[in-house]
Amino acid sequence: MGPFDRTDYEDRLAKTRARMEQVGLDLLLVTDPANMHYLTGYDGWSFYVPQLVAVPIEPEDPVWIGRGIDANGARVTTFLNDGDIFGYSDDYVQTPDRHPMNFVADVLRARGWGGRVIAVEMDSYYFSARGFEVLRHDLPNATFRDAQELVNWVRAIKSTKEIALMRCAGRIMDRVMAVAVDAVRPGVRQCDAVAAIQHAQVTGLPELGGDYTSIVPMLPTGPGTSTPHLTWSDEPFRDGEATIMELAACHRRYHCPQARTVFLGQPPQRLSDAAAAVVDGLNAALDAVKPGVTCEEVEGAWRGAIAKSGLVKESRIGYSTGLNYPPDWGEHTMSLRPGDRTVMQPDMTFHMIPGIWQDDWGIEISECFRVTETGAEPFATTPRQLFVKR
Amino acid sequence: MGPFDRTDYEDRLAKTRARMEQVGLDLLLVTDPANMHYLTGYDGWSFYVPQLVAVPIEPEDPVWIGRGIDANGARVTTFLNDGDIFGYSDDYVQTPDRHPMNFVADVLRARGWGGRVIAVEMDSYYFSARGFEVLRHDLPNATFRDAQELVNWVRAIKSTKEIALMRCAGRIMDRVMAVAVDAVRPGVRQCDAVAAIQHAQVTGLPELGGDYTSIVPMLPTGPGTSTPHLTWSDEPFRDGEATIMELAACHRRYHCPQARTVFLGQPPQRLSDAAAAVVDGLNAALDAVKPGVTCEEVEGAWRGAIAKSGLVKESRIGYSTGLNYPPDWGEHTMSLRPGDRTVMQPDMTFHMIPGIWQDDWGIEISECFRVTETGAEPFATTPRQLFVKR
């Protein structure tokens, strides 16, 4: 399953344990599906019910705990032995009188881990406040800590194999954006354009299939371009309107996101001016990328370049990306913004997306890149411009 | 935006407040995106950052709180006034030293709600354990309660307009499954079949566009059919193998899910036998549906019908469905299983999916239906059978 082998997982587990040791943890409960996949290979759309990978500080195999009907999924997709895969019965699922975390607590206790210093990913989507209460209730001898984004930080620097997967995603992305720019035409229903986009995302290339992206195509159009996260409707695209497309391509769960903006007809001067300023700023920020600079310094290069344009941007201009599952392809670690003093290192990977959203219009032109030994390597090659279709 | 108007939202809010009153709540924080949409119309792929709708017990407009760049999305998609829309600045996003719930607490306090009995959706995907801790810390005078699935239960009985949307989804589903059955052929890459499926899902019909489904196509194939939640790969379908397709169609966030199984070649006898038993059981359970029967009685009809086949199924055979957002189209209320004594009422809507997953094979044939005055009305018309392609 995938290009990774046992030594890759051992390496990742060793790095995770080194961080656990630094902060005094002896058991880590991993509920973020990307982190579960990273440490064991587990893959499947089963994160809508509680599931986790438990990583003890000792160098032994982790334990997968999830819904009974998904246990075969763990057997198919991970390197774990049967004895380390625990499935709860279906009467734990979405029922008021018991919770899957009751079962998890039983397994942890049976393993002798009931009195440990246990870290949980307290801001992960698929570890709920109720689940945490149940766990604390059922394991009164444990000491609970917030793991913060411990495994996410291990993921921040990609391996050669991971970079190769992101390059594959980048190649697919080139085709996806070409299809997308072509599909947006006056009178075409938004849903028909997105159908073409999703087809391109999933078909991929003849030698390279596409996987589902962690976010569906975001496609604000017309006045909707004043905000980034609207999806599509049945309405047609209209002449004289802009459409922002924030898309991605994904190969084996590794993403290359990219945003571009299309204008149908003659764009207003403010939009053309904004496009020029955003491209200048994006180029300046990409030029500033190299090992040793901080995330906020890269943002500063953007800020300096656009200062003369009069554009103002309060929100961050980028974030770490790569392996992920819905609802986000961001890794929740580094952000390109003032105050983030994380030092860039080779094989960190980012999505730089300095979107501009004003009262009733907006524009996005973005780039996904790797930090190299000397600079930035974009994964895709779509021209950095406002696409004007007359 | 959509077929719903202010009176629909007033009606939903009144029903929500009646339940709040019953259990002694004077403020409800709604974080489930389907519940947020249901009560205000809010729509957008922004649930990957904390956001919520606060519903006070008084009959006044709710308050939307979310990320600043999404506030225009609330203006575009909801009926709320500007004064009831609060966006937090981007330095709250994914940063270790502050949390969006700090901002939420400030807003609630400013509204005079800091000392209320506040219910939170403790098992919703997008309300985190960390967020809850921050909220409790910042609002020491509040009393917190678990809202359980309060709004989900209000959603259990659909309105005429909602049923109309699900019928639209059902019509799209017919085409989606036809495309899917056609696309699975020996030698075709799984990703190419899914590309065709997703295209059909999103294009919809000429008069009826498709929306994104809350779950991507699930497509276990070959030995993978032993577990339900695997997605696709670049590998081709193989002659002599089964493929399970659990799909949905979605129209304006309302779903009609459906599962079917395809076999390429001559199916083994055990699979043909299982298909016959599952169809019998599905029909028997659908025949048992009518107002006044309980969910467990409907499951009992399935259980009785398949008893002679030797098949055993421990997991639930269905759940409430309709409006939803990723990662699940289930509503987390009623389940068709022993112990669920919820009484069926007209315009409840379910996905009945008695999947069979054995050690190295499985089968799924499902139906999404509405409870009518006298029985069950399926939303789609795909034949209930194992599709054999020789």
Reported confidence tier of residue A247, pLDDT bands at 50, 70, 90: very high
pLDDT (0 to 100) of residue A352: 98
Alpha helices, DSSP H, located in chain A: 6-22, 33-40, 71-77, 100-110, 129-138, 150-154, 160-183, 190-203, 269-288, 295-306
Q: Give CA A76 to chain center in angstroms.
A: 24
Asked whether the predicted pLDDT for residue B24 surpasses 90, the reply is yes
Residue A144 in contact with partner chain B when CB distance is under 8 A: no
Residue B189 in contact with partner chain A when CB distance is under 8 A: yes
Chain A residues in contact with B90 (beta carbon < 8 A): 314-316, 337
Query: Which of B69, B71, B96 lies at the smallest CB-CB distance from A148?
Result: B96
Residue A143 in contact with partner chain B when CB distance is under 8 A: no
Kindly state the percentage of chain B with pLDDT values over 70.
99
Chain A residues in contact with B191 (beta carbon < 8 A): 202-204, 209-211
Please name the amino acid found at residue B37.
Answer: H
pLDDT (0 to 100) of residue B120: 98
Q: Do A128 and B126 touch (CB under 8 A)?
A: no
Structural domains of chain B, ranges and CATH numbers in brackets: 6-154 (3.40.350.10), 160-389 (3.90.230.10)
Chain A residues in contact with B210 (beta carbon < 8 A): 191, 195
Residue B215 in contact with partner chain A when CB distance is under 8 A: yes
Q: Do B123 and A131 touch (CB under 8 A)?
A: yes
Asked whether the predicted pLDDT for residue A216 surpasses 70, the reply is yes
Cβ contacts from A onto B, under 8 A: 239
Residue of B nearest to A33 (CA): B327
Q: Smallest CA–CA separation between A283 and chain B, in Å? A: 23
DSSP string, A60-100: S--EEEEEGGGHHHHHHHS---GGGEEEE-GGGTTBTTB-H
Q: Smallest CA–CA separation between B199 and chain A, in Å? A: 4
Chain B residues in contact with A94 (beta carbon < 8 A): 319, 330, 332, 335
pLDDT (0 to 100) of residue A3: 85
Kindly state the percentage of chain A with pLDDT values over 90.
95
Strand ranges of the sheet holding A254-264, from the earlier edge strand across to the other edge: A242-251, A254-264, A387-389
Q: What is the pLDDT of residues B118-138, one digit of tens each?
A: 999 999 999 999 999 999 999
Q: Which residues are B236's β-sheet partners? A: B189
Specify whether the CB–CB gap between A348 and B102 falls below 8 A.
Answer: no
Chain A residues in contact with B194 (beta carbon < 8 A): 202
CA distances to A112, A315, A321, A347, A349 from B68, in Å: 46, 9, 22, 31, 26
pLDDT (0 to 100) of residue A127: 97
The count of C-alpha atoms lying within 13 angstroms of the C-alpha of A329, restricted to the half-sphere facing its C-beta, is 31
Chain B residues in contact with A230 (beta carbon < 8 A): 43-44, 73, 76-77
Reported confidence tier of residue A1, pLDDT bands at 50, 70, 90: low
Residue of B nearest to A44 (CA): B230
190-209 of A, contacting B, C-beta below 8 A: 190-192, 194-196, 198-204, 208-209
Q: What is the pLDDT of residues A153-188, one digit of tens each?
A: 999 999 999 999 999 999 999 999 999 999 999 999
Chain B residues in contact with A71 (beta carbon < 8 A): 227
Residue of B nearest to A341 (CA): B95
Q: Smallest CA–CA separation between A150 and chain B, in Å? A: 12
Residue A82 in contact with partner chain B when CB distance is under 8 A: no
Residue with tokens 């499926």: B197
Reported confidence tier of residue B360, pLDDT bands at 50, 70, 90: confident
Please name the amino acid found at residue B141.
Answer: N
Q: Do A48 and B328 touch (CB under 8 A)?
A: yes
Q: What is the pTM of this model?
A: 0.97
Chain B residues in contact with A209 (beta carbon < 8 A): 189-192, 232-234
Asked whether the predicted pLDDT for residue A2 surpasses 80, the reply is no
Asked whether the predicted pLDDT for residue A33 surpasses 70, the reply is yes
Query: Which of A76, A89, A230 lies at the smallest CB-CB distance from B76?
Result: A230
Q: What is the pLDDT of residues B157-172, one digit of tens each?
A: 999 999 999 999 999 9
Residue A283 in contact with partner chain B when CB distance is under 8 A: no
The count of C-alpha atoms lying within 13 angstroms of the C-alpha of B10, restricted to the half-sphere facing its C-beta, is 5
Chain B residues in contact with A43 (beta carbon < 8 A): 230-231
Chain B residues in contact with A316 (beta carbon < 8 A): 90, 93
The pair phi, psi for residue B371, each rounded to 5°, is -80, 120
Q: What is the mean pLDDT of residues B42-64?
A: 97
Strand ranges of the sheet holding B63-67, from the earlier edge strand across to the other edge: B85-88, B63-67, B52-56, B27-30, B117-120, B143-146
- Orientation of helix B129-138 relative to helix B100-110, angle to 10°: 40
Q: Do A195 and B202 touch (CB under 8 A)?
A: yes
Q: What is the pLDDT of residues B74-101, one digit of tens each?
A: 999 999 999 999 999 999 999 989 999 9
Measured between alpha carbons, how far is A1 from B230 in angstroms, rounded to an integer?
12
Measured between alpha carbons, how far is B228 from B63 in angstroms, rounded to an integer?
39
Q: What is the mean pLDDT of residues B236-251?
A: 97
